[in-house]
Amino acid sequence: MPYTMIIALAIHIVSAVIWVGGMFFAYSVLRPSMGTLEQAPDRLRLWRAVFARFFRIVIIEIVLLLGSGYWMVFVEFGGFAGVGLHVHIMNLTGFLMMGLFAHLWFAEWSKFRRFVDDGDFPAAGARLNRIRMIVFTNLWLGWITVVVGATGRYWG
């Protein structure tokens, strides 16, 4: 296996782990722990700070996933005709995840951020619930994508 393939695959795997792992942490660990903060405004401000950092990282990971994935498909395998079904499924679920993230970023996150900054905490709370549902959906898609990517070459 050429070193470029090993490097591209490593970038791809680490980027997926960061994105999906970050969603898992936010949804399964941080969200339930927020109840220890007594004031809703404090929880919303903390979510704003967490998301501001995490979403910037997700954008970088998306770029790395696209670049490394398409490098492998087109340079190493000669296009989509040279890859297995699992790569097509990963491509589809990846684009679904990116589409949901784009909606989250441009619609929900921008409004949530503005509401928190303006002190409109009831409106921010409603947006946070929408963000939570998108993250939950993307987390499931991420799990599917990771399992397909890890097992697909052994399907037959």
Nearest Cα to Cα of residue 16 among 96, 94, 112, 128: 94
Considering the entire predicted model, what is its pTM?
A: 0.94
Task: Please tell me the total count of domains within the chain.
Answer: 1
Q: How far is CA 130 from the centre of its chain?
A: 15
Nearest Cα to Cα of residue 50 among 75, 70, 31, 63: 31
The residue segments making up the domain with residue 128 are 3-154
Average pLDDT in the chain:
96
Task: Tell me: pLDDT of 84 over 90.
Answer: yes
Reported confidence tier of residue 156, pLDDT bands at 50, 70, 90:
confident
Rounded mean pLDDT of 135-143? 98
Q: Give 119's DSSP letter.
A: T
Reported confidence tier of residue 1, pLDDT bands at 50, 70, 90:
low
Residue-wise pLDDT for 85-121, tens only, equals: 999 999 999 999 999 999 999 999 999 999 999 999 9
